[in-house]
Amino acid sequence: MAEQADEQALRQELAEQYKQLGAAGLNELSSGNVSCRIGDDMLISPSGASADTIEAGAVVRMSLDGDWQGERKPSSEWRMHAAIYKKTRASAVVHTHSDYCVALSCQGQDLPGFHYLVGTFGGSDVPCTTYYTFGSQELADSAAEALQERRACLLGSHGMICRGRDLANAVSLAHRLEIMCRQYALATQQGEPYILTDEEWQDFFDRAKKISYGKYI
């Protein structure tokens, strides 16, 4: 009974956090997907979900190898979520098609260390992966590889994906990355932004270990 109650609570939270992504303008229509780890399995938003229609009962429980039961199919990007759970300690994963993340990803460009808050994703930049077809194992493997060293990455000509210690944290990271990509786009309109040096990054990470910025997973 306790396990069922925990699963129901996670289903409800996942649906609510999915709606938060829509409210923040990070996903529109049926783009993007959200998942969380539950035991050896994961809960993931269903195929075709939108912020207007998603419900806790529609969330799909499935194995990391692709097995599920029920009428609703999991998101077509389930392989990407599963690969990240297999290769990292993530408790939740968020994938969005937010405007500025998509714009930068379509340039095939990493988000460089132009601002110290880029460091909250675990390094001095946020990498952009090579383009692969949506739903493919190649895309899944590429994203999982990038997220072994970072909390987020851009997906070439696609969007972004991040991993968090829980659902709320993952959604917050997705929102922060969109803000950073927007600010980078604004900064480049004035010329080439200053990029923090290795010494400045080291100082940031030394300080970050003492406060909440340093709570990496």
Q: Which two tokens stand for residue 167?
A: 């659902």
* Active-site residue flag, 192: no
- Residue in 7, 13, 77, 192 annotated catalytic: 77
Catalytic positions, written as ranges: 77
